[in-house]
Chains A and B, each alone.
Chain A
């Protein structure tokens, strides 16, 4: 089944690194899109279905945690799986964003194996 991935990070370099690491993990997406901020991400989510969204936490204007809350208000995004990707690793933050609707959390530095572990349950 065709899968779409959305990578949200204010750093273009980090989006490329995430995309490269996803490819190295062996996970196969039919379509990969990028967004440089939360507003752009919401536009992409409204425009078409996204299966998995990889989302930075620490972003200007709209943080990743705020974006999760906004995504969960969108009726067409109930099935979108949200995996946070961040250098932040406090349990308080992880618990909070998971309670708000995220489905997983990957801490930087990350490896292809970590993406495989966290994303593969949502690939079928």
Chain B
């Protein structure tokens, strides 16, 4: 029903749409085949159900999350940003990217019901959907400074 290559493209185009319109930061696909996002990171996730069931996740380092939050809120780069605002911003990124993904998949996957986003912080964070889950994933360069990961873990629902 949905192939992984086109899902990678959907993820990238959705992220571009959100970052260009709401975050005002440039992004491009990263060719870096590195490991996990290094150091302390934030993971914003949002689940969905319907013909596809699963979870979209956006993972970035804490400095990257702070830069995203500062840009979204239009703050001065020298201003300190509260941890709550940073977490909230990453949750909103997951929420808005999921909204764009949902719109782009409407023809092939129908209407997906989406949850409220949640954010966790820590080291070597990963999302997991158990056995048999498929994963689409793109590594994204933000402002040529930060490498982030956007992924979609899902099962196709035959019911």
Contact = CB atoms under 8 A, between A and B. Distances in A.
Interface of A: 10-14, 16-17, 20, 58-60, 86-90, 92, 107-111
Interface string B85-114: 100110110011011101100100001001
Interface of B: 17-18, 21-22, 69, 72-74, 84-85, 88-89, 91-92, 95-96, 98-100, 102-103, 106, 111, 114, 116
Contacts of B103: 89
14 contacts: A10-B116, A12-B88, A13-B72, A13-B89, A17-B22, A17-B72, A17-B92, A20-B73, A88-B99, A88-B102, A89-B103, A92-B111, A108-B99, A110-B21
A20 B74 contact: yes
- Grouping DSSP codes into helix (H, G, I), strand (E, B) and loop, the A interface class, with mixed when no group exceeds half, is loop
A34 to B, nearest CB: 13
B22 A109 contact: yes
Given A13-B73, A14-B92, A87-B95, 10 more contacts: A13-B72, A13-B85, A59-B116, A86-B99, A87-B96, A88-B114, A89-B103, A90-B111, A108-B95, A108-B99
Contacts of B17: 109
A107 B100 CA distance: 10
Given A108-B99, A111-B21, A13 B111 contact: no
A12 B84 contact: yes
Contacts of B95: 58, 87, 108
Contact of B18 (A10, A13, A16, A109): A109
A11 B92 contact: yes
A108 B17 CA distance: 10
A13 B92 contact: yes
Interface centre among B22, B91, B102 (most CB of A within 10 A): B22
Nearest to A87: B99
Report the 8 A-B pairs with minimum CB-CB distance, sorted nearest first: A87-B99, A13-B88, A109-B21, A109-B22, A13-B89, A11-B88, A108-B96, A20-B74
A11 B21 contact: no
Given A11-B88, A16-B73, A109-B17, A87 B116 contact: no
A60 B116 CA distance: 8
A23 B21 CA distance: 16
Nearest to A60: B116
Contacts of B114: 58, 87-88
A66 B117 CA distance: 19
Contacts of A20: 73-74
Nearest to A15: B88
Contacts of A10: 116
A51 B103 CA distance: 31
